Amino acid sequence: MNYIFYFLIVISIVAGAINGKLEDVVNAILQGAELSVKVAFSLIGIMAFWLGIMKIAKQCGLIEFIAKLIKPITKRLFNEIPENSPAIGDIAMSFTANAFGLANAATPIGIKAMEELQHHNKDKASASNSMCLFLAMSTAGFQLVPATVIAILIGIGYPNPTSIIAPTLLVTAIAFVSAIILAKIFQKLWKQQKNGGKANV
């Protein structure tokens, strides 16, 4: 990524020099650097406020309550692991934290869920179906409130930063459902291929 940005900067400077717009390029670089500092500082207060609200929600039991509500769905999706496994609760907690923008809280919970899934994994050398499904769902990143994006929009002075909520909810929901469907399809295809390979032997 560093090489890509370096390449873009060099190309911009060269193109500006050729077209006699080098001064405009330099001014744009300086203005961009100034804006990035302003956005970074504006993020501090906004993110501190939002994370504080989410911390209160977690301590008062709201996050755990929502995790319990979606636990039946989690059991159905991860039907290869026992219902009484701690991984079920950890997975539900991880998704709930991610949905409310608590990425810092979701990361250790997600790692713990992966460790629990590994306990139920018969082949320790490769990821199980449940582990792949959990990774796909986590990568899709379903979010109810995109706190970071809202904070950036506020930082750059966007007039209506909350307008991003509905599109983000729609896009992440589609990505989330697509990840589940594709993971389940590939599980069946891999199972058929594996069984077919054993039959040929």
| Domain contains 191 | yes
Contact 70, 123 (CB under 8 A): no
> Does residue 134 form part of some domain?
yes
Question: Given a cut of 90, is residue 174 above it in pLDDT?
Answer: yes
pTM for the whole structure: 0.63
Across 4-18, 92-106, 172-186, least confident range: 92-106
Flag whether 94 is in a domain: yes
Number of domains in the chain: 1
Helix axes 103-119, 22-59, angle to 10 degrees: 70
Q: Is residue 76 part of a domain?
A: yes
pLDDT digits (tens, 9 = 90+) for 56-92: 876 887 767 777 787 788 888 888 888 777 888 788 8
Please answer whether residues 155 and 46 qualify as being in contact, where contact means their C-beta atoms are separated by less than 8 angstroms.
yes
Q: Indicate whether 155 pLDDT > 50.
A: yes
Average pLDDT for the chain: 80
pLDDT for res 51: 66
Is residue 8 assigned to a domain? Answer: no
**% the chain with pLDDT above 70:** 87
Residue 69 and residue 16: Cα distance in Å, rounded?
57
User: Which band of pLDDT confidence, cut at 50, 70 and 90, is reported for residue 200?
Assistant: very low
Range of 72's domain? 57-200
Is 92 domain-assigned? yes
| Within-domain flag for 86 | yes
173: burial class by Cβ within 10 Å (0-12, 13-18, 19+)?
Answer: middle
* Residue 118: inside a domain: yes
Q: What percent of the chain shows pLDDT beyond 90?
A: 6
